[in-house]
Amino acid sequence: MSEFDARGHEWRDGLRYPWPLAPANGQVQEVAEGVLWLRMPLPFGLDHINLYLLRHGDGWVAVDTGLNSDQCRDVWEQVFVEVMAGLPLKAVICTHFHSDHTGVVGWLAERFRCPVLMTLGEFDALHHGPPRAASPDWAFLDFYQKAGFSVERATSLLPLIQGEHFRPQTAAGFTRLANGSELIIGGRHWQVVTGNGHSPEHACLYAADDGLLISGDQVLPRITSTIAVYVIEPEANPLRDWLDSIERLRVIPDSVLVLPAHERPFFNLHLRLDQLRDHHRAHLQQLLEACEEPRTALEMMAVLFKKLSGRFDELMAVGETLAHANYLMAEGALVREEQGGLHRYRRPRTGVSKFNPLEQF
């Protein structure tokens, strides 16, 4: 349920949304002087991404880009004329490497001959895209078979990540951002605040004097960032990384206006951090209660995600399930056994067992 205050701001689940409606695709909403919220369409269930245009002298700086698609480029062409008034992009900042944030970064950089700013971790990840092979390699099959998939079912997952929109037009080089770096854009000072877990080295931008936080995917209202384990690093603990990042963000005042990559800008950052932490705590508790007896990742996934709308959702859900399982193993709350080519997870029967990453070798 939501309600509106005297200013017309919407209150929903304790968060305050200054704009009850988002701009239409290709349209903008000024959220602060010289800061424009631009809505870009996505061809998924999550049908949009928020980009931000920052006025800078006789041009603009873009934060994130949208997908590598003709639709995205067409919207940008409209924005160049109707929003940017023919003024150039001076730089493109990418919060992280995911394809909806970097899809046309190379196209924009080439068109305007402008620098691309990213963290090193995200630039490296950007250049390691999904496999192009027509059939999965042994590591891909091994990962999903151990999770409980049949060979046929695992093989069918590969095409889901091979669409062209998952292959950004990459830039040849970049200017490195790092935690604590400062950018002066249009006279406004932005501090780079990095986070981990959703991606390797996600960059948020914080303007302390103006109370603004461009949060990318690190903090979203209503929905949660994907925290998942993938084939590339099956023993990773991204949930630990992400929860640690959430705590570091608490040094930013609760009063900031959060400008996220999806949904609408909102106030009450600290409450949202509490909600996100508690969401994952609940998932961890559900898994612990379900693992009195050994369960595969697919069986655990059914506990956490009771309704999935398609195979791609399943792909993401098993990755999120494994992120929670790996976290619990690292804490000694779950142990993993291999039986008949399957990984099964259960609570320790006696004492507390710490996961040893070398036990598989």
Mean pLDDT of 79-100: 97
| Of residues 182, 212, 215, the one with CA closest to residue 199 | 215
Q: By the 8 A CB rule, do 360 and 326 touch?
A: no
**CA–CA gap between residue 148 and residue 342 (Å, rounded):** 6
Instruction: Give the per-residue pLDDT at 310.
Output: 84
Q: By the 8 A CB rule, do 39 and 25 touch?
A: yes
Q: Name the burial class of residue 99, with classes exposed (0-12), middle (13-18) and buried (19+) by CB atoms within 10 angstroms of its CB.
A: buried
Q: What percent of the chain has pLDDT over 70?
A: 97
Asked, for residue 26, whether it belongs to a domain, the answer is yes
Instruction: Give the per-residue pLDDT at 2.
Output: 81
Examine the pLDDT at 356 and tell me if it is beyond 80.
no
Mean pLDDT of 88-100: 97
Mean pLDDT of 103-126: 97
**Structural domain of residue 134, as residue ranges?**
3-148+168-282
Instruction: Give the per-residue pLDDT at 115.
Output: 98
CA distances from 316 to 155, 187, 261 (A): 15, 41, 19
Asked, for residue 263, whether it belongs to a domain, the answer is yes
Examine the pLDDT at 326 and tell me if it is beyond 80.
yes
Instruction: Give the per-residue pLDDT at 178.
Output: 98
Mean pLDDT of 22-26: 95
Mean pLDDT of 193-217: 98
Asked, for residue 100, whether it belongs to a domain, the answer is yes
276-324 pLDDT, tens digit each? 999 999 999 999 999 999 999 999 999 999 888 888 899 999 999 999 9
Instruction: Give the per-residue pLDDT at 32.
Output: 98
Instruction: Give the per-residue pLDDT at 130.
Output: 78
**CA–CA gap between residue 288 and residue 314 (Å, rounded):** 21
Examine the pLDDT at 183 and tell me if it is beyond 90.
yes
Tell the residue number behind the tokens 């090193």, with chain if given.
120
For residue 228, give the CATH number of its domain: 3.60.15.10
Asked, for residue 360, whether it belongs to a domain, the answer is no
Instruction: Give the per-residue pLDDT at 160.
Output: 84
**CA–CA gap between residue 141 and residue 131 (Å, rounded):** 13
SS3 letters for the chain? CEEECCCCCEEECCEEECCCCCCCCCCEEEEECCEEEEEEECCCCCCEEEEEEEEECCEEEEECCCCCCHHHHHHHHHHHHHCCCCCCEEEEECCCCCHHHHCCHHHHHHHHCCCEEEEHHHHHHHCCCCCCCCCCCHHHHHHHHHHCCCHHHHHCCHHHHCCHHHCCCCCCCCEEECCCCEEEECCEEEEEEEECCCCCCEEEEEEHHHCEEEEECCCCCCCCCCCCCCCCCCCCCHHHHHHHHHHHHHHCCCCCEEEECCCCCEECHHHHHHHHHHHHHHHHHHHHHHCCCCECHHHHHHHHCCCCCCHHHHHHHHHHHHHHHHHHHHCCCCEEEEECCEEEEECCCCCCCCCCCCCCC
Mean pLDDT of 156-175: 88
pLDDT band at 241 (very low <50, low <70, confident <90, very high): very high
Q: Name the burial class of residue 269, with classes exposed (0-12), middle (13-18) and buried (19+) by CB atoms within 10 angstroms of its CB.
A: buried
Examine the pLDDT at 3 and tell me if it is beyond 60.
yes
CA distances from 273 to 172, 201, 218, 238 (A): 36, 19, 10, 17
39-75 pLDDT, tens digit each? 999 998 889 999 999 999 999 999 999 999 999 999 9
**CA–CA gap between residue 194 and residue 205 (Å, rounded):** 9
Asked, for residue 189, whether it belongs to a domain, the answer is yes
Examine the pLDDT at 355 and tell me if it is beyond 50.
no
- Residue 156 tokens read as 């069918």
Instruction: Give the per-residue pLDDT at 131.
Output: 78
Q: By the 8 A CB rule, do 272 and 266 touch?
A: yes
pLDDT band at 351 (very low <50, low <70, confident <90, very high): low
Examine the pLDDT at 135 and tell me if it is beyond 70.
yes
Neighbours of 40 (CB within 10 A): 23
Instruction: Give the per-residue pLDDT at 349.
Output: 84
Asked, for residue 139, whether it belongs to a domain, the answer is yes
How many domains are there within the chain? Answer: 1
Instruction: Give the per-residue pLDDT at 311.
Output: 87
Mean pLDDT of 222-231: 96
Examine the pLDDT at 18 and tell me if it is beyond 60.
yes
